[in-house]
């Protein structure tokens, strides 16, 4: 998610001459690349994001008192619950597992596609849609089956979806029975989301899934279907590691708010108690990013949403004015005003290919000068941005990334 891993050290360096006691507030936190990079300094790093799955990641990576729990211990505590849910799903959906495996073994794209079209899911089957509606009222009903009735024979194989559901059931039940703690459950859910990303049959995001309509696509699906969610989730507990040390993480805060509303800023006013640096890396294209991560959002919220379209999207995906050409300028001016009115510093990342720059032709320095007296271009550097699937060409493109600092 995002492309700030490579730029994060440069952003940290650019802020080096500002007071380290002022917290950095990353208001479009994402996967915490920039906030996490602050661990090399003494500066507190606070993160905000509207997506539930991103907030889970921030909570684990920025504020946890301990790292991920021991893999072997979690395997022992989760396995009985996992097997219980999986057995119930196999009894109901076992025929679908075998049908999908036969279609994949055939190597016949038409057979695989026909099987996928015939497989019921919430977005195409009235009975499944009604079932999801009932489960929305009682999402902890046994057996867990959100992924199985929504995303199987699409982003995941039927067997993989059953495994994801059973993992979530095991985490929730073990937490409810006090066999694992709340923080341990958070780490396990984050590892589950990592597993979902690793095993998904998709082009690097969740806006769409591979259809198997070509030899290369079907080969890729066959390879991905061999990956088991249970093994990848447990392996994730070994791979994950929080940023910084526990003393640094104790200073940090995580919020889940829309930057356009008043709630985030009211919370920050109460928490900051002085000066702050607001780091903003807003969406820059007309694509609403929530479409690219909706599967992760649903797996974290586990709320049995409706599904629509080929991508089986949830109906309440977040829409940001930063991705609307007629609204983005107003959104930027609103952000600048909120930061400037508080006497805080704004660090703004933005590319030359964005809606504000390439789309509207705005000079960001001029816009910042309307609210701030001290504005400087900290750096301009070449980087690569994902084209989010590369439907019309290369999957990545070269752009110039700017970092403006205004106070």
Query: What mean pLDDT comes out for the span 253-257?
Result: 97
Report residue 385's pLDDT band, with 50, 70 and 90 as the boundaries: low
User: Is 230 in contact with 196 (CB distance < 8 Å)?
Assistant: no
For 301, half-sphere exposure in the C-beta direction (CA atoms, 13 angstrom radius) is 17
Q: pLDDT digit string (tens) for 4-62?
A: 678 899 999 999 888 889 999 999 999 999 999 999 998 999 999 999 999 999 999 99
pTM of structure: 0.94
CB atoms within 10 A of CB 125: 14
> How far is 303 from 312, CA to CA, in rounded Å?
14
Please name which of 169, 120, 170 lies closest in space to residue 149, comparing C-alpha atoms: 120
Q: pLDDT digit string (tens) for 99-120?
A: 999 999 999 999 999 999 999 9
φ and ψ at residue 365, rounded to 5 degrees: -60, -40
Query: What mean pLDDT comes out for the span 170-195?
Result: 98
For all residues of the chain together, what is the average pLDDT? 94
Query: What mean pLDDT comes out for the span 89-101?
Result: 97
For 269, half-sphere exposure in the C-beta direction (CA atoms, 13 angstrom radius) is 10
Q: pLDDT digit string (tens) for 215-247?
A: 999 999 999 999 999 999 999 999 999 999 999
Residue 380's DSSP bridge partners are: 402
**Structure confidence at residue 246 (pLDDT):** 97
Q: Please state at what angle helix 229-239 crosses helix 71-106, rounded to 10 degrees.
A: 140
> How far is 317 from 293, CA to CA, in rounded Å?
9
Q: Looking at the domain 8-65+246-283+320-406, which fold is it?
A: Rossmann fold (3.40.50)
DSSP alpha helix (H) spans, 125-214? 126-137, 146-150, 158-176, 182-199
Percentage, residues of the chain above pLDDT 70: 95
Query: Can you give the residue ranges of every domain in the chain?
Result: 8-65+246-283+320-406, 71-239
């Amino acid at each position: 998610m995002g492309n700030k891993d490579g730029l994060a050290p440069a952003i940290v360096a650019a802020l080096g001459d500002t007071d380290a006691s002022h917290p950095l507030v990353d208001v479009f936190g994402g996967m915490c690349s920039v906030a996490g990079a602050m661990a090399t300094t003494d500066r507190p790093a606070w993160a905000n994001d509207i997506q539930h799955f991103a907030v889970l990641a921030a909570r684990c990576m920025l504020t946890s008192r301990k790292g991920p729990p021991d893999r072997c211990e979690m395997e022992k505590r989760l396995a009985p619950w996992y097997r219980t849910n999986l057995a119930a799903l196999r009894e109901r959906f076992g025929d679908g597992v075998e049908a999908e495996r036969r279609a994949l073994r055939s190597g016949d794209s038409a057979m695989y596609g026909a099987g996928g079209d015939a497989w019921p899911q919430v977005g195409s089957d009235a009975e499944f849609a009604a079932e999801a509606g009932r489960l929305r009222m009682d999402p902890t009903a046994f057996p867990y089956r959100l992924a199985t009735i929504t995303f199987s024979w699409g982003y995941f194989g039927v067997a993989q979806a059953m495994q994801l559901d059973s993992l979530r059931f095991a985490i929730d039940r073990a937490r409810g029975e006090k066999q694992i703690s709340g923080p341990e459950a958070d780490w396990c859910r984050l590892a589950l989301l990592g597993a979902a990303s690793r095993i998904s049959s998709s082009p690097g995001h969740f806006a769409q899934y591979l259809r198997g309509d070509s030899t290369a696509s079907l080969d890729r699906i066959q390879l991905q279907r061999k990956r088991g969610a249970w093994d990848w989730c447990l392996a994730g507990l070994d791979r994950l590691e929080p940023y910084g040390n526990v003393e640094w993480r104790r200073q940090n805060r995580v919020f889940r708010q829309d930057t356009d509303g008043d709630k985030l800023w009211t919370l920050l006013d109460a928490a900051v108690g002085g000066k702050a640096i607001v780091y903003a890396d807003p969406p820059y294209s007309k694509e609403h990013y929530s479409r690219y991560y909706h599967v992760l959002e649903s797996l974290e919220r586990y709320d049995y949403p409706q599904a629509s379209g080929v991508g089986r999207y949830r109906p309440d995906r977040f829409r940001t004015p930063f991705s609307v050409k007629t609204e983005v300028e107003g959104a930027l001016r609103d952000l600048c005003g909120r930061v400037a009115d508080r006497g805080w510093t704004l660090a703004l990342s933005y590319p030359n290919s964005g809606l504000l720059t390439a789309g509207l032709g705005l000079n960001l320095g001029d816009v910042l000068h309307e609210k701030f007296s001290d504005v400087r271009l900290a750096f301009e550097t070449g980087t690569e941005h994902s084209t989010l699937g590369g439907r019309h060409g290369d999957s990545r493109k070269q752009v110039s990334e700017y970092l403006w600092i205004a106070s």
